[in-house]
Amino acid sequence: MLAKARTIDADEIVIDLEDSVSHEAKQEARAAARAALAEDWGGRAVAVRINGIATEWWTADVAEVASADRSALDSLVIPKCESAEQVRAVARLVEEAARSPGSEGPAVSLQALIETAAGLVAIREIASADAPMEALIVGYADLRASLGRTLEAEYPGDPWHWVRETVLVNARAAGLAAIDGPVLEISDDDSLRSSAWSARALGYDGKWAIHPNQLPPINEIFSPTREEFERARSVLAALESADGPGAVRLEGEMIDEASRKQAARLLARGEAAGLSS
């Protein structure tokens, strides 16, 4: 699976040491992750999801991964994150491990999975923790269990809208990426597309996939169209050519600094998707 992951069209690969690994296989999984991090990932971002801070395995996860030849490692994902102190504890251990002999590689950032009620309550402190935070991620499966949700189909509307907004607002306030969680039904393309469109419309930066077949629709939906890309270029060009700061008119629409920020974000996303500027 790790070898196959180096060939699929994903922006980031998350190597999992948590839920997909049985208790008896934790050490074996760490060894496989260490070996994989020394491989060539072709420019893809690579993260490792460690075990939760409430478990007996997380310290060994961090120590072994962060003290390895971690040439490809960009970040660690903290599951069931419920406090800023948990974030800081992981950051401290990463720093300690990175100073060990034989440890090589760039600095490692952190991503927090928000997947419990306690995590939602503490999300502001988590997002602004004194640590190299990179992203907040919605974790639907564990959130569903934590909140006691069993009849989502009967709810008159989107039962996750407040959760998504809360994660998004706190991510943006802290200058972090906001990543939507996966759709677990891997053969339900309609649900996947609906979920991805909703996340993109809210302003999310991307969405997790749990199967390679989910990547094409996610990449399609989160990648700007050529029309959107060219519009963003026009917005930036119009503002750059304006006489001083302030609003200017472009094709009948008034654009300003807020328009510039939106256009710059969209242009960066389009370039990352392979659209040429």
Measured distance CA(3)–CA(11) in Å, rounded: 16
What is the percent of the chain where pLDDT is above 70? 97
Q: Which residue has the higher pLDDT, 261 or 200?
A: 200
For residue 190, the Cα-to-chain-centroid distance in whole angstroms is: 22
pLDDT for position 7: 92
Split at pLDDT 50, 70, 90, the class of 247 is confident
Split at pLDDT 50, 70, 90, the class of 15 is very high
* pLDDT tens per residue across span 128-187: 999 999 999 999 999 999 999 888 878 888 999 999 999 999 999 999 999 999 999 999
Do 54 and 79 contact (CB within 8 A), yes or no? no
pLDDT for position 104: 63
Pairing of strands 253-255, 177-180: unpaired
DSSP secondary structure letter of residue 214: G
DSSP codes of every residue in 66-86:
HTSB-TTEEEEEETT---HHH
Look at 56-70, 199-213, 241-255, 256-270 and tell me which has the smallest mean pLDDT. Answer: 241-255
Domains by residue range for the chain, with CATH: 2-222 (3.20.20.60), 226-272 (no CATH)
**Which H or E run includes 141?**
helix 140-147
Please report which residue ranges of 101-183 form alpha helices under DSSP H: 117-121, 123-127, 140-147, 161-173
Do 130 and 172 contact (CB within 8 A), yes or no? no
In terms of pTM, does the model score above 0.75? yes
- Supply the mean pLDDT for the chain: 91
